[in-house]
Amino acid sequence: MNTKLHAVCDSLGRPISFFVTAGQVSDYIGARALLSSLPKVDWLLGDRGYDADWFREALQDRGIRPCIPGRKPRSKALRYDKRRYKRRNRIEIKFGRLKDWRRVATRYDRCPKVFLSAIALAATVIYWL
* pLDDT for position 23: 84
Please report, rounded to a whole number, the percentage of residues in the chain having pLDDT higher than 90. Answer: 48
Instruction: Say what the pLDDT of residue 1 is.
Output: 62
Could you report the per-residue pLDDT of 43-78, keeping only the tens digit for each?
999 988 899 999 999 999 999 999 999 888 888 888
Q: What are phi and psi for residue 89, nearest 5 degrees?
A: -60, -25
Average pLDDT of the chain is 89
Q: Give pTM, 2 decimals.
A: 0.83
pLDDT of 28 > 80? The answer is yes
Domains and CATH numbers, the chain: 3-128 (3.30.420.10)
pLDDT at 120: 92
Burial grade of 68 (CB within 10 A; 0-12, 13-18, 19 or more):
buried
